[in-house]
Amino acid sequence: MCINIDIHSLKLFNMTGKKKQDQIISDVKQNINWKELFHSKWVFPFALIVLMIIFLSLRMLSDPDTGFHLKTGKWIIENHSFPQKDTYTYTANNNNYIDLHWFFQIFTYFIYSLFGYIGLSLQVMFTSILLLFLLLKRNKLQNIPLKITCIVLLFGYLIIEPRLLLRPEIFSFLYIVIILIILDLYFHSHKNFLFFLPIIMLFWVNTHGLFILGIVLIGSYFISLWIKEKKIDKKFFIWSSLSLLICFFNPYFIKGILFPFELFTRFKSNNVFNQHILEFKSFGSVVKYDFTDYLFIFFSLLTFVLSLRYAKKKNIHDFIILFVFFYLAYISIRNIPLFVIVAIPIFSSSLYELFVRIKEKKWYLKMKFFRHMNFVFFILLPVALIFRIYTGAYYISNKSYSKFGVGIDKQQQPYSATTFLINNKLDGKIINSLGYGGWLAWNLPQPIFIDGRLEVMKEQLYMEVTDSWNGRLSKLIDKYKPKLIIYNYLKYYTWTTQLNKMPQWRIIYLDGEAVIFASSDYATNISALNMVNLPIQYDLPKDTSVELIKQILNISPLTKINNWTEGFYKKHDYSCDDLTNIASFCLQFKEYNLAEQFFLESIRKSKGKNNFVYYALADIYKKKGNQILFQICLSKINKNKKD
């Protein structure tokens, strides 16, 4: 048995009043033996959930901030000091650089020095698993059964997985849970580990700007204790005060303390970063929800409904934390994991309250089959997710760029384009797209144009970039006089159409994500890319007859159910994405014949999975006046819509 329950208490449960029932529930909780619990049948689903989270956390490095975190870690070690001014760009080198991430950056660079990029992927995975067991520990302190913990952790991790990245905020997740464990131990059991709070805050303030949330957590428990005991707890007050004061021990003193308030301005709707960068947008502004969004809504609703239903079992700090962190999650999508992490134990305890109250209901006792199926479901679900994560189907269905694996994601980072620049010793002045800045700064010898340190770049420079999207790239070129332009042509597609009209610029490199243009007076030893040779480079079929085109266009894609089933065993072929991307570039460059060839090859290799390709081809055939092929594309589009 996992739970030792007095039979007499169970009989009393339906016979006594609410106060007596609450006391029985409390006794049941206290009688949970966690050693016995881990010998229960729910250990097996828990082990599978841990394995699923390992797969979910093992992902290739695609985050655009990876490069400048590594560069800064290396710079601090080599210079034995902390950055004060920007040194990576030629546009923002007079701007202050308040680097509260320095501890994370040194640690990350240390891991990279020992184990390379594979080690960095493993760093994310191990941090994620450590977070899992810290959350498990919090639930254990509240005597939540393993069954409830499995349910909440599984869905909780599916919500937070988009932020399981090589970023300092993943350390903030750890600090939050560690602080809450210390506060829970003191509040509920009077176990005094409060002396750890200033130590954690010292690490946190030198790791990430979210350290201010540690003060919020400590303050919420301080208020709760004050109300509970009707007096100020002197020990708690002393250690809380020290935790606040220790935050001044950062390389930037008062500027470091005020830094989070500068970051908070990004969440205002009139801020230019908020208007253009998805992760800063309010959850309320999301137009179309995906799977993770629906999970977050469901998780939040259940958390608040059950917490209010069993409000007498909650403490003041539970509600303060819930409302503060939910507010943060609502005003910015990137903050959603913060709410989920603090809410997991609160939700778990409320769910357990509900479970205990319905456990002896007659209708529940009759649902033996349902209870068995519940157990089976939490075995099958993580197993199914493991397969879909491995093949990439899970990420593709969520429209995520993440990929299972280790090392650099060469389809998201401009890895090959950067290698081309280095091998050809092209160290001229560059203009680059924002997302490429971190990787370029890490690898190239010359200063870059812009990167993702938005607090350093400032709004004015970013507005110059957004202005260039609207037909004013020449203005940017005239001001900064670059010799090279490297960018993600899928996101900065208007740059392509503008550069196509500038004869003084030529393409010298193109791959499935990045393009490099060079000015006519630079790198004259490197010939312009002859786009006509692209089909040969990518080994496209030489046969371009109308009959072959019709055959390719009429390829029957898999049905939705077959396509979904394939996601359990067949890895996604990302080379098809490269073909579609290059076709899109050719379309931007008005090379319609080349675009047609690449789109057709993409259909052939992917068996027509991407419906966007048919829209693009329909537009091409309409421009070329080929009504037969145009009508075939329209019929495929309509058929795919019905399917």
Residue-wise burial string across 202-237, b where 16 or more C-beta atoms lie within 10 A, e elsewhere: bbbbbbbbbbbbbbbbbbbbbebbeeeeeeebeebe
Band of pLDDT at residue 7, cut at 50, 70 and 90: very low
| Mean pLDDT along residues 353-365 | 75
523 and 544 together in one domain? no
> Is residue 83 in a domain?
no
Domain boundary, last residue among 529, 563, 580: 529
Q: Locate 499 and state its tokens.
A: 């550069």
The reported pTM is: 0.90
C-alpha torsion angle, residues 215, 221, 226, 229 (rounded to 10): -150
441 and 370 together in one domain? no
> Is residue 347 in a domain?
yes
> Is residue 188 in a domain?
yes
pLDDT at 166 over 90: yes
Per-residue pLDDT, 636: 87
Domain boundary, last residue among 397, 432, 460: 397
358 and 428 together in one domain? no
Write the pLDDT tens digit of every residue in 277-315: 878 888 888 878 888 999 999 999 999 999 999 888 889
| Mean pLDDT along residues 53-76 | 96
> Is residue 373 in a domain?
yes
Q: Locate 601 and state its tokens.
A: 């090859």
Write the pLDDT tens digit of every residue in 377-421: 899 999 999 999 999 999 999 889 899 999 999 999 999 999 999
> Is residue 148 in a domain?
yes
Residues 6 or more apart whose CB falls under 8 angstroms from that of 539 comprise none
Band of pLDDT at residue 11, cut at 50, 70 and 90: very low
Contact at 8 Å (CB) between 332 and 292? no
389 and 468 together in one domain? no
Integer Cα distance of 244 and 91 in angstroms: 36
Environment class of 22 (CB within 10 Å of its CB; exposed 0-12, middle 13-18, buried 19+): middle
548 and 522 together in one domain? no
517 and 560 together in one domain? no
| Mean pLDDT along residues 321-330 | 96
Considering 32-36, 41-45, 177-181, the range whose residues carry the highest mean pLDDT is: 177-181
> Is residue 404 in a domain?
no
Look at the chain and report how many structural domains it folds into. 3
633 and 539 together in one domain? yes
325 and 200 together in one domain? yes
Write the pLDDT tens digit of every residue in 328-339: 999 999 999 999
292 and 264 together in one domain? yes
Contact at 8 Å (CB) between 29 and 143? yes
Domain span at residue 511 reads 415-529
pLDDT at 31 over 80: no
Integer Cα distance of 370 and 630 in angstroms: 53
Strands 430-432 and 484-488: parallel
Looking at residue 547, its amino acid is: E
480 and 621 together in one domain? no
Integer Cα distance of 63 and 413 in angstroms: 8
Q: Locate 457 and state its tokens.
A: 């770049």
> Is residue 403 in a domain?
no
Per-residue pLDDT, 357: 82
> Is residue 231 in a domain?
yes
Residue 192 is given by DSSP the state -
pLDDT at 255 over 70: yes
Domain boundary, last residue among 504, 529, 554: 529
The per-residue DSSP string of 159-219 comes to HHGGG-SSSTHHHHHHHHHHHHHHHHHHHHH----TTHHHHHHHHHHTT-GGGHHHHHHHH
248 and 205 together in one domain? yes
pLDDT at 54 over 90: yes
31-40, 166-175, 347-356, range with the lowest pLDDT: 31-40
Q: Is residue 432 classed as helix, strand or coil in its secondary structure? A: strand
Higher per-residue pLDDT: 340 or 13: 340
Residues 6 or more apart whose CB falls under 8 angstroms from that of 575 comprise 605
Q: Is residue 568 classed as helix, strand or coil in its secondary structure? A: coil
Question: What residues pair up with 289 in beta bridges, in sequence order?
Answer: none
Q: Locate 168 and state its tokens.
A: 């300092």
311 and 341 together in one domain? yes
Per-residue pLDDT, 24: 40
